[in-house]
Amino acid sequence: MSDLTTPQGNPDGHGSAPAKLGYSPVADIPHKPRATDTDPKAARRAERQVASMFLLSMLFVVLFVVAYVAIDKTSVVYIPVMGEVGASNVALGFTMGMAILLIGTAAIQWAKKLMPDVEVVQQRHDMVSPKRATLEAEANYERGKEESGFVRFRLIRRTLIGAMVLFPIPLVVMLRDLWTPTEYTEGKSPADLLSTTLWTGGMRIVADGTYQGEHSETDSGGEITGEPVSPDDSLAHRPIRPEDLPVGGLIAAIPLDLPEVEHAEGNLNARGKAAIILVRMEPDEIRSQQGTGWDVEGILAYSKICTHVGCPIALYEQRTHHLLCPCHQSTFDLADSGNVVFGPAARRMPQLPIGVDEEGYLVALSDFEEPVGPSFWERG
Amino acid sequence: MKFLAARRRSPIVASALLVGALVTVGGAYAALGAVEPAQAALAVGAETQVEKGQQLYLEGCSSCHGLKGEGTQTGPTLVGVGAAAVDFQVSTGRMPLAAPGAQAPAKTENPYSEEDIAAMAAFVAALGPGPAIPTAEQLDYASADEAYGGELFRINCAQCHQAAGQGGALTQGKYAPSLMGSSPKTITEAMLTGPQNMPVFSDAQLPVEDKQAITSYIVGLQEASSPGGLNLGRFGPVTEGVFLVTAIFAALIAAAVWIGIKSR
Amino acid sequence: MTTTSPVEKVGGATATYVDQRVGSNKFLSRNLGKVFPDHWSFMLGEIALYSFIVVLLTGVFLTLWFKPSMAEVVYDGSYVPLKGVLMSEAYDSALNISFDVRGGLLLRQMHHWSALIFIAAMAVHMFRVFFTGAFRKPREFNWLIGVGLTTFGLLAGFSGYSLPDDLLSGTGLQIARGIVQAVPVVGTWAAFLLFDGEFPGTEFISRLYGVHILLIPGLILALVTIHLMLVWTQKHTQFPGPGRTNDNVVGYPLLPVYMAKAGGFFFIVFGIIALVGGLVTVNPIWIFGPYMPDQVSAGSQPDWYIGFLDGALRTMPNWESVIPGVGWTISWNILIPALVIPGIIFTLLGLYPFIEAWVTGDKREHNLLDRPRNAPTRTALGMMAISFYVLLWVGGANDIIAVAFDLSINSIIWFLRITLIVVPPLVFVVTRRTCLGLQRRDREKLLHGYESGRILRLPHGEFIEVHQPLSEKDIAVITAKHDYAPLPAPDKADVDGVRNKRYRAQMLRHQLSEFFYGVNVPKPSAAEIEAGQHHAAHDAAIEAPLHEYEDADQIHTFHGGVLHHPGMAETNAEQLQQEQRS
């Protein structure tokens, strides 16, 4: 450090901070007095500025309360640039924001214009403790060690360490029941559960949907008591005939039993595994599939759950037959056994073997032959 | 300018000048680049609608789709695509295609009048059976259930067109377009015909009522006000992040700098 | 003593009352005059602190209405496009907050925006601390606490993002579960324990709620407290400048200036958050709809701070191994981007101060900040890391970028796979060279003064640029640079021929030190600086008459020019002498 940067220690007369407080103004920073230091009019003006900002802040609080009471929560207002926006949110946010912001700007303006702006110096002290304190601490430690007999009583020392190591075990053990099997999962390992879905041979394939409509029955607590209702002419939960699906078409589908099972189990777990998509292509466009005869006249059923990390995927390009995951862009070729053609997924999309039952509706021939969804340790 | 000249060595002023210059150049470039689209006026004296359609077809479409709509190397067959496909592709300006690319983009200007499009649709419909142009009754979504449409939208449409209908990326430069400017007719025709890589949603898959419900939900999205203020394009967290960095942090750091500057 | 108002009398009595019980006046006497240096970049940490306070405040309000339950209900609130739709109570109550509680949407948006600001402010604060070397002794612990705070910030953010149970947040949880499930050996069980079984289960939202509103905020509060106490006892670092040394702190006293400025800034941050919460939508959950494990929206993204992780997942090639025989699966495609890369990033971040201290052998206390150019290797390493992070970020937004700029996502991913390896080293090289260039310019400035930008044409036709002496402040700032020498290479054996057992470690340290300090533009000596500034003052003296007098052409020549020839005056003074003689 050259001598150019050493403080001279002589107050320059601008603000004479008492040296007793441990600091003094920096002598060699040329301090230019502000307008408010020299011109009483400017100081008055600054005072008025600050006070009017505080005043405006109060006004905005009043406006906030008025807006809270007066503006309907659903009303919409047109504001240039923003378009049609919720009047209540904008009014409340604006008034509250201005009320708070003005306090801040007033305080800063006050500090900048009217409080002293002479920088002062304070000395630092090393972090290290004085030698005496260190020696005292050492002596106290030695005394404690001696008096406790931690070194002498070897047995106590070892058993203490043992006890300290073991005592958190109950806390860890209790975490086991974070997962308590239900009557539906009793006796099954996680790997078993991840490897099976609701699909069985003969299970009808129905169009996806959970819409309850405005007429579904609910009790006072909002719990659903009635069966799910769909508008009468909707195909949701209706079985599908091969002729319903044209070439190039796509249907998001679930097993017929799913709504019932979901209702019984009280969760969406079965849906997270069983969801499929049905796509139809010209039979001669199918280059390969995961089992012979798993299609029905060019209709293929594939799992909807990505084998990468489990996003549902249905971005089906009907000309390229590619299926793209919107989360991480894994791309699967449904005309070629659902194999991965791009992206981070390592496994092909599992195919569901399908057929037609005696009434002419599409059914599964069996469950998936490989686990659906993301990989896991025991998957193999 | 004297002010600027005196301070032009300051990094802040220098960057402001640079930005100013870039904006000026960019603006001029954009202004010059907006080439007037060619207006093709077609005078046709055909007697029947189908003949007129054939005439237009031969002039405008046959080079890619073949003289009888059988398709060629450069364009798919039009046999069986139906009148709805013609109406969708031509009225949205996707066809005729300006240049081959990953995907046919929609254009605001198209060289054909409504009559011309109807004529071509009639001609293509005559090539083989396919979905007809939806009737006004089919398109009437006034009594449709918007919330039900919403769920159908999330099951069938959102994976490509995004939950707010803003569109999304597909593979290899293809994309699902934004639905914000789509009319009920365009929406319904797209579902019926499955243009380009979009899957087909026939009336057997999604009955007319379901299509009306979906239309109702999309129109709702188009007309929706934004309860929370500026909507940032409804693209999700990415635009929120961009706004955070560019606007909010600009404001916060400007405030910090203001606090740090010595008053004069 | 001036006049004392009744309020002050009460205040004084209270202070005495409290002091008699807790001894608070000792603290006040030491600290009311505590000096804080003033610089805009020192406020980045304040932004983080203040936005965290706003997060806490708005979060408390939200807990009054939010129901963290996955029980299914049918929506019957005032948002028409979802009426009659089956959803969880969590989503239902989040919609209720947004549409049926007046000001609820404002609170939700303020909470979300301030959370985004909190994490971003921690990041930029960390950049400031890194690039100025503020993490050096004695502040290594505070750096570690900062890394911990950032980590907890990410967890707080992600857990909050996941609570409303809309389609976007549920998709995020599904990905998180996929990542947990990929952990070798324990992954499957860990996922089952966390989610109480399969995905999505019925428990996770309520479990996450406890973590989000109690556990993580508690940890953050504890760490923030220690962080601030350490700043307080260690005193803030300062940038070099006139009068500023390693042993003092130059700035404004706590009372009144710093208190007014810091307090005022809190209200400014709070006010900006309220304004943004009122004027700009964030996370419009009603658009995404309720979460269903078989539904998804295009453009599903995490919030910005998890973007790098999502980008890494997207960019990773699809590697997976199955151990033959036992059939155990190792999902490299998930483990590397989701656990290994963030693990490396945060470990290196945490260890950096200790690594640098070991490599450089620097044991001094540092209270004066480095200018980033004066630590070229550190700055280059930081920029390299940032470029890697930013590229991952681009990966996380690749689908939005593809649509916005009409690109192919496949091309973007391939572009990133290559640039993630190529660009960071390039950034390192460019940054280091830039820093050295700036050091060279600083040296030039000290030796020759400041380039004024004014060109003089001398009477004999030569053009020169006038140099002006540096201001006292500039000299103080530039000369604060410390020239380090790399550690010497170790000897294989000492003079007595005893083999050096620690040779390899010392050699590594020597090489790293060479890497760190091998490049440097040394600062000129005090005498050289003196001469240089004198020289520049001379320049300026030449120019002065040009402005002031019409007869500037009387000055005929100038030293140091290429056209200089024998017989001409060497300096201005000589020139004048010559003229006087003639």
Looking at residue C493, the DSSP 8-state letter turns out to be B
Q: Closest to C83 (Cβ–Cβ): which among A122, A214, A254?
A: A214
- pTM to 2 decimals? 0.88
What is the structure's pLDDT at B12? 61
Asked if the C-beta of C180 comes within 8 angstroms of chain B's C-beta atoms, the answer is no
d(CA C281, CA A90): 10
* pLDDT, tens digit (0-9, with 9 covering 90-100), for A159-208: 999 999 999 999 999 999 999 988 888 889 999 999 999 999 999 999 88
Average pLDDT over residues C399-420: 93
* pLDDT, tens digit (0-9, with 9 covering 90-100), for B99-133: 777 788 888 777 888 888 888 888 888 888 888 89
What is the structure's pLDDT at C227? 97
Q: Closest to C294 (Cβ–Cβ): which among A2, A28, A275?
A: A275
Q: At B55, is the pLDDT very low, low, confident or very high (cuts 50, 70, 90)?
A: confident
Q: Closest to A342 (Cβ–Cβ): which among C243, C266, C410?
A: C410
Is B151 in contact with A245 (Cβ distance < 8 A)?
Answer: no
Percent of chain C with pLDDT over 70: 92
Q: CA–CA distance from C19 to each of C23, C232, C254, C376 (Å)?
A: 4, 21, 20, 50
d(CA C192, CA C204): 11
What is the structure's pLDDT at C567? 53
Q: Is the peptide bond before A374 cis (omega within 30 degrees of 0)?
A: no
Residues 433-472 of C with CB under 8 A from B: 453
What is the structure's pLDDT at C502? 85
All domains of chain A in start order, with CATH: 2-121 (no CATH), 131-167 (no CATH), 195-364 (2.102.10.10)
What is the structure's pLDDT at A248? 92
Asked if the C-beta of B257 comes within 8 angstroms of chain A's C-beta atoms, the answer is no
What is the structure's pLDDT at B22? 64
* pLDDT, tens digit (0-9, with 9 covering 90-100), for C505-546: 889 999 999 998 888 888 888 888 888 777 777 666 665 544
Q: Closest to B236 (Cβ–Cβ): which among C120, C299, C411?
A: C299
pLDDT reading at A30 higher than 80 = no
Q: Which chains touch B (3 or more CB pairs under 8 A)?
A: A, C
d(CA C338, CA C180): 9
What is the structure's pLDDT at C430? 97
| Cα angle, residue C48 at apex, residues C44 and C49 outer, rounded to 5° | 115
What is the structure's pLDDT at C161? 95
- B107 closest CA partner among B163, B57, B161, B39: B39
**Which of the pair, C563 or B13, is modelled with greater confidence?**
B13
Which residues in chain A have their CB less than 8 angstroms from residue B226's CB? 82-86
CB within 8 Å of C223: residues ≥ 6 apart: C145, C148, C149, C152
- C364 closest CA partner among C487, C231, C484: C484
Q: What is the mean pLDDT of chain B?
A: 82
Q: Two tokens at C532?
A: 């240089």
Is A310 in contact with C177 (Cβ distance < 8 A)?
Answer: yes
Q: Which chains touch C (3 or more CB pairs under 8 A)?
A: A, B
**Nearest C-alpha in B relative to A212:** B148
Q: Which amino acid type is present at position C497?
A: G
**Which of the pair, C501 or A223, is modelled with greater confidence?**
C501
Count of pairs with CB atoms under 8 A, one residue in A, one in B: 132
d(CA B16, CA B35): 31
Average pLDDT over residues C134-163: 96
**What sign for the dihedral angle of Cα B200, B204, B208, B211?**
negative
Query: What is the complex's ipTM, to 2 decimals?
Result: 0.88
Q: Closest to A376 (Cβ–Cβ): which among C103, C278, C329?
A: C329
Rounded to a whole number of angstroms, the distance between the first and last alpha carbons of chain C is 72
**What sign for the dihedral angle of Cα C20, C21, C23, C25?**
negative
Distance from CA of B112 to the nearest CA of C (A): 27
d(CA C337, CA C315): 8
What is the structure's pLDDT at A127? 86
- A230 closest CA partner among C288, C86, B140: C86
Is C197 in contact with A182 (Cβ distance < 8 A)?
Answer: yes
pLDDT reading at C491 higher than 90 = no
Is C252 in contact with A120 (Cβ distance < 8 A)?
Answer: yes
pLDDT reading at B86 higher than 50 = yes
* pLDDT, tens digit (0-9, with 9 covering 90-100), for C53-71: 999 999 999 999 999 999 9
Q: Within 13 Å, how many C-alpha atoms sit on residue A264's CB side? A: 10
Distance from CA of A243 to the nearest CA of C (A): 25
d(CA C504, CA C506): 5
H-helix or E-strand spanning residue C391: helix C376-396
Q: At C327, is the pLDDT very low, low, confident or very high (cuts 50, 70, 90)?
A: confident
Average pLDDT over residues C384-388: 95
Q: Two tokens at A333?
A: 């070729």
What is the structure's pLDDT at A6? 32
Is C272 in contact with B248 (Cβ distance < 8 A)?
Answer: yes
Distance from CA of A343 to the nearest CA of B (A): 11
Q: Closest to C100 (Cβ–Cβ): which among A73, A121, A340?
A: A73
Scan for tokens 């190591």, then name that residue.
Answer: A165
Is B158 in contact with C287 (Cβ distance < 8 A)?
Answer: no
pLDDT reading at A14 higher than 80 = no
pLDDT reading at C203 higher than 80 = yes
d(CA B118, CA B112): 10
What is the structure's pLDDT at C75? 92
**Nearest C-alpha in B relative to A332:** B171
Residues 344-373 of C with CB under 8 A from B: none
Instruction: Find out whether A8 and A29 touch, Cβ atoms under 8 Å.
Output: no
Other CB atoms within a 10 A radius of the CB of residue C58 amount to: 22
Average pLDDT over residues C22-26: 91
* pLDDT, tens digit (0-9, with 9 covering 90-100), for A244-291: 899 999 999 999 999 888 888 888 999 999 999 999 999 999 999 999
What is the structure's pLDDT at C551? 42
H-helix or E-strand spanning residue C29: helix C24-31
H-helix or E-strand spanning residue C177: helix C167-181
Pairing of β B175-176 and β B168-169: antiparallel
Strongest mean pLDDT among A27-31, B33-37, C234-238: C234-238
Which residues in chain A have their CB less than 8 angstroms from residue B210's CB? 233-235
Percent of chain B with pLDDT over 70: 82
CA C525 to chain centre: 34
- Render B73-122 in DSSP notation, one character per residue: SSS---TTSHHHHHHHHHHTT-SS-SS--SSPPP-S--S--HHHHHHHHH
pLDDT reading at C97 higher than 70 = yes
Asked if the C-beta of C256 comes within 8 angstroms of chain B's C-beta atoms, the answer is no
- Render B223-258 in DSSP notation, one character per residue: H--BTTSB-GGG--HHHHHHHIIIIIHHHHHHHHHH
pLDDT reading at A141 higher than 70 = yes
Q: What is the CATH number of domain B134-246?
A: 1.10.760
CB within 8 Å of B170: residues ≥ 6 apart: A315, A317, A324, B160, B176, B197
What is the structure's pLDDT at C119? 97
| Sequence-ordered strand ranges (E) for C12-128 | 35-36, 72-74, 86-88
Which residues in chain A have their CB less than 8 angstroms from residue B156's CB? 250, 252, 314
Ranges in chain B annotated CATH 1.10.760: 19-98+107-131, 134-246
Q: Closest to C40 (Cβ–Cβ): which among B147, B161, B257?
A: B257
Is C331 in contact with A214 (Cβ distance < 8 A)?
Answer: no
Instruction: Find out whether A346 and C320 touch, Cβ atoms under 8 Å.
Output: yes
pLDDT reading at A236 higher than 70 = no
Q: What is the mean pLDDT of chain C?
A: 89
d(CA C427, CA C446): 28
d(CA C411, CA A52): 57
State the best of C42, C46, C112, C198 to mutate against chain A, taking most chain A CBs within 10 Å: C198
Secondary structure of residue A368 in the 3-state scheme: coil
**Nearest C-alpha in A relative to B171:** A324
Distance from CA of C565 to the nearest CA of A (A): 37
Is C81 in contact with B146 (Cβ distance < 8 A)?
Answer: yes
Q: CA–CA distance from C127 to each of A131, A303, C235, C367, C415 (Å)?
A: 36, 45, 19, 17, 27
What are the beta bridge partners of residue C499? C493
Q: At C490, is the pLDDT very low, low, confident or very high (cuts 50, 70, 90)?
A: confident
d(CA A88, CA A77): 9
Is C284 in contact with B175 (Cβ distance < 8 A)?
Answer: no
**Nearest C-alpha in C relative to B156:** C295
Q: What is the CATH number of domain B19-98+107-131?
A: 1.10.760
Distance from CA of C546 to the nearest CA of A (A): 28
Is C298 in contact with B226 (Cβ distance < 8 A)?
Answer: no
Q: At A380, is the pLDDT very low, low, confident or very high (cuts 50, 70, 90)?
A: confident
What is the structure's pLDDT at B24? 63
Asked if the C-beta of B222 comes within 8 angstroms of chain C's C-beta atoms, the answer is no
* pLDDT, tens digit (0-9, with 9 covering 90-100), for A54-89: 999 999 999 999 999 999 988 999 999 899 999 999
d(CA A147, CA B172): 77
pLDDT reading at C554 higher than 60 = no
